[in-house]
Structure 1
């Protein structure tokens, strides 16, 4: 069982470089009680790609979730509220 919800949706836009990307991830339980980190990314408006990581412990999924969040922020991805003040 997941202790609390973990969800993230961020975008990176730069009209001068024709960049319009999204990155989304969440931690969800699977049928066997494992924590799964579900990642989706691609061009805004497209289906994009996805990847699922399985973990026996929720803590390991949270560590990867936070690490990926920092990486995306460093690359210029922002939440929608940050993009449109």
Structure 2
């Protein structure tokens, strides 16, 4: 059981470099009660790629979630303005 919801959706755009990217993450339980960190990324408007990490302990999933969040913020990703995601 996941103690609290973890969700993130950020974007990075740069018109001069024709860059329009998104990055989304969430921690959700699987059928066996394990915590899964689900990651999705790609060009805004496209399906993108998906990766799922399985963890026995929720703390490990949260640690990776926070590490990836920090890295994305440092690379210029931010919450889209005017969005309720």
Give TM-score, length-normalised by structure 1.
0.94
1:16 maps to 16
**RMSD value, Cα:** 1.4
Gaps of 5+ in 2: none
Extract structure 1 runs of 4+ deviating beyond 2 A. Answer: none
Say which SS state the counterpart of residue 31 (structure 1) adopts.
coil
1:61 maps to 61
Gaps of 5+ in 1: none
Alignment length (residue pairs)? 83
Q: What is the alpha-carbon distance in structure 1 between the residues aligned to residue 64 and residue 55 of structure 2?
A: 10
Q: Within 5 Å, give how 1:1-85 maps onto structure 2.
A: 1-81=1-81
